[in-house]
Amino acid sequence: MNWNCKTYCFVLGPFLAIFFSFNSVLRAQDNYSGQRQQMVRWQIEARGITNKKVIQAFRHVERHRFVLPEFINEAYDDCPLPIDEGQTISQPYIVAYMTDVLELKPTDKVLEIGTGSGYQAAILAQICDSVYTIELFETLGHKAKALFSELGYNNIYCKIGDGYKGWPEHAPFDAIIVTCSPTHVPQPLKEQLAEGGRMIIPVGKSPFQNLVLLEKKKGKIREDKVLLVRFVPMLDEEGKTY
């Protein structure tokens, strides 16, 4: 067979296209990986988060998978980002801080109120045994559940409903994390916190709230204000604020 330049181009063309396309994907993945490592170094470790399990979770979970396509280039920036239904994905440091103060163990069962994009639940799932997460908005809850399945998280359990009421069927919980702000700590969540358990929750009206850390010991709950934050309000099923 007489091979010439045109023949080579014809035969190799499709393979070259696949090769360069694959390389583009790898470069994009490497780029996000680099951004993620920089996020961990400068936004989390530099601010005093030293828990190795928390840091490893942030190195592993791909935040760009949990943001809207139009914000993907900002996925690793030091700020919250809008998601559907007027909600937000929290600033990476706040997610890290709230996770860190829970002092999670590998055997822990955690309740999350406010699934949102699913990023916080994915971080928790890297550290503890199981995560039960409740989302008021169906669109957000179903989207997050599909993403958990796609990413292989088989220890995250999702529910659409009113987070104020918690998830009594699976209580008590070793830890509870709330990512929306009521004006007071919901009594059902206090009751569903296990002995020795911890809860982190933003409490107060807009625009700023106090991040409150609760710990249950001998049936009594101690509350400490630990940080000034800004979260979306906690809503009931009629859209009214708690």
Beta bridge partners, 45, equal none
HEC profile of the chain: CCCCHHHHHHHHHHHHHHHHHHHHHHHHHHHHHHHHHHHHHHHHHHHCCCCHHHHHHHHHCCHHHHCCHHHHHHCCCCCCEECHHHCEECCHHHHHHHHHHCCCCCCCEEEEECCCCCHHHHHHHHHCCEEEEEECCHHHHHHHHHHHHHHCCCCEEEEECCHHHCCHHHCCEEEEEECCECCCCCHHHHHHEEEEEEEEEEECCCCCEEEEEEEEECCEEEEEEEEEECCCECECCCCCEC
CA distance 29 to 170: 38
Whether residue 233 is preceded by a cis peptide bond, meaning omega within 30 degrees of 0, is no
Question: Is position 90 annotated as part of the catalytic site?
Answer: yes
Structure tokens at 123: 């971080």
Catalytic residue among 90, 117, 130, 181: 90
Among all residues, which ones are annotated catalytic? 90
